[in-house]
Structure 1
Amino acid sequence: MHSITTIILTYNEEKHIARCIKNAQQFSSKIFLVDSFSNDKTVAIAESLGAKVFQNKWENNHAKQFNWGLENLPITTEWVFRLDADEYLTEDLILEINKKMPSISEKISGIVCERKMYFLGTLMTKGMVQMNMLRLFRYADGICEDRWMDEHIVLTKGDTEQFEGYFVDDNKNSLGWWVEKHNNYSIREAVELLNLDYHIITPKSEQAIAHELSDDAKSKREKKRKYANMPLFWRAYIYFVFRYFFKLGFIQGKEGFLWHFLQGWWYRTLVDAKIYEVKKACGTDPKKMKQFILENYNLKL
């Protein structure tokens, strides 16, 4: 088995964790969970399958939790794969990893793979842009950038290589759970967009500047900047029309409509509504914004 450690962040993931671990066992030599004190069967299931579980208090930040794992887990492998509990690799990507990793160039420090989404049991293939993510990286050369949303693995040195296979996000929870999750995400996204204009997030450290984003992450950030410059509320509508009609999202029936409406229009309108709420209460004063977000959404920026 290759010198790869897979790290999985968990909290009450009993619906997904067995599938995730069994999938990771096909390309990993070690599997570690960083668990936020689950109160379901997550830990018991993971340990029964041979994964090692380490628990750390959740501090409302995925990047901080993952970086805690990088710093504190007994990692002895050359490579690390970041995998969410509701994700798994396709057979083609597993075969590609098993074939290519033994002879990968020493100049390569990160492997970029495409991520695809399931929604209501349907793989979303229309209306989507290709989501490439750096998830496999040399342990000594990577870290997760500390952001409220849209955090990426960044490299301190080395190049990246794109693999052809893809992995999927296939969450088995209810639609109500999905809505609540995105409601929680929306204030984080609002903070990231407000920060572009008002600099309300204090940089964690100067060290982060030295880290290198993948080309795909840089492209995504540039698109976000362009989106942020569009008119509030109208941009969510335009984004939905682009995805659903011009990118042929309507071809995928009811599931396609619900996906693009909820994720492409409703969610982004909710983000804009929270931006509007903050600016209406605080004007353009960054200090007032930070205090308002802390008092109303319990996010300390």
Structure 2
Amino acid sequence: MPDIPVSVIIMTRNESKNIVACLESLAGFDEIFVVDSGSDDDTVALAAAHGATVVPFAWNGRYPKKKQWCLESLPFSHDWLLYVDADERLTPDCAAEIADAMASDARRDGYFVGYDYVFMDTTLRFGRRIYKLVLFNRHKGRFLDYRDHDIANMWEVEGHYQPKIEGTTAILKSRMIHRDHEGLFHFFERHNRYSDWEAALRERGLYDADLETQPGPRTLLKRIWMRMPCKGLVIFVYAYFVRLGFLDGRAGFDYALAQAFYFWQIGIKQRELRRRARGVS
């Protein structure tokens, strides 16, 4: 079978524990870029040894951030891009579905992909699902500027929002796998940083801009979710009971609780920002 005519982008910094498995899962793609931010482990050497084109990246503290910089700066051979994190793995079924989509005359301008999360060495089959818009035509997509440089713990990569697509989108039936070998410290550190970012954007009224990237029923559902109180409790009930997370055993309980804690963090950090705005210490 010929290589899939899609350019893959993997953004890295010290991902030696993850990068090999990630690249091996992408072996059927024609072009892979690893865009590295000064790794001081074996990430770069491992990526090059597995055939990826390694591109160094140094953020200048301004927009564009890393995802949009890749979109604007890399010498792509193809119009279609797939953004993959180093701790993610493409399944053979997902690769085959992407190949079919590229060969179809009816393809959309972008595709959401769902993820099976490996948490505490357990592949979660139930619970709340994560979908990301990671496959799109580069002429139809861009990452929005959120004016977030002053937010505490902000960094070079755009937050966990989706690219804006000028066109139609769909959801792939097959899924990718998310498995991070860095452990729970890295997991909670990342969520602590994300919750700082999301709380600040919510308070500035900027987070709703993300809704522009999710047309159709997903937009309506997210608008309702944005205005719902007690999000931590709601997300736990939804993930653990409605979405049958309890069928994943202890890992399902722990993951649902971690998701609830994340949304609780956002809420309490929003209240902290309001207190500071009123001059209350």
TM-score, structure 1 normalization: 0.79
The 8 Å contact of residues 11 and 85 in structure 2, kept in 1 or not, is answered as yes
Q: In terms of mean alpha carbon deviation, does 10-19 or 247-256 score higher?
A: 247-256
The CA RMSD over aligned residues, in Å, is: 3.0
Q: Distance in 1 between matches of 2:235 and 2:88?
A: 26
Amino acid corresponding to residue 7 of structure 1 in structure 2? I
Q: Distance in 2 between matches of 1:57 and 1:190?
A: 27
Q: Distance in 2 between matches of 1:45 and 1:93?
A: 24
Q: Distance in 2 between matches of 1:37 and 1:103?
A: 39
Q: Distance in 1 between matches of 2:62 and 2:120?
A: 27
Aligned to 1:295: none
The 8 Å contact of residues 96 and 163 in structure 1, kept in 2 or not, is answered as yes
Higher helix share: 1
Aligned to 2:27: 25
Amino acid corresponding to residue 128 of structure 1 in structure 2? R
SS of the residue 1:83 aligns to:
strand
| Alignment partner of 2:160 out of 122, 126, 150 | 150
Aligned to 1:215: 215
Structure 1 gaps, min length 5 = 293-301
Matched, 1:180 2:181: no
Structure 2 gaps, min length 5 = 147-157
SS of the residue 1:252 aligns to:
helix
1:256 CA displacement:
0.9
The 8 Å contact of residues 117 and 178 in structure 2, kept in 1 or not, is answered as yes
| Alignment partner of 1:280 out of 269, 275, 278 | 275
Give aligned-pair identity as a percent: 30
1:212 CA displacement:
6.1
1:89 CA displacement:
1.3
Matched, 1:241 2:237: yes
1:56 CA displacement:
1.4
Aligned to 1:229: 227
Q: In terms of mean alpha carbon deviation, does 86-95 or 243-252 score higher?
A: 243-252
1:1-301 correspondence to structure 2 within 5 Å: 1-26=3-28, 28-58=29-59, 64-105=65-106, 108-129=108-129, 131-147=130-146, 149-156=159-166, 158-196=167-205, 213-215=213-215, 219=218, 222-231=220-229, 234-263=230-259, 265-283=260-278
SS of the residue 1:13 aligns to:
coil
The 8 Å contact of residues 2 and 102 in structure 1, kept in 2 or not, is answered as no
**Structure-2 change in CA distance of 1:61 and 1:120 (3 Å):** farther
Amino acid corresponding to residue 248 of structure 1 in structure 2? L
1:269 CA displacement:
1.4
Amino acid corresponding to residue 169 of structure 1 in structure 2? H
The 8 Å contact of residues 8 and 84 in structure 1, kept in 2 or not, is answered as yes
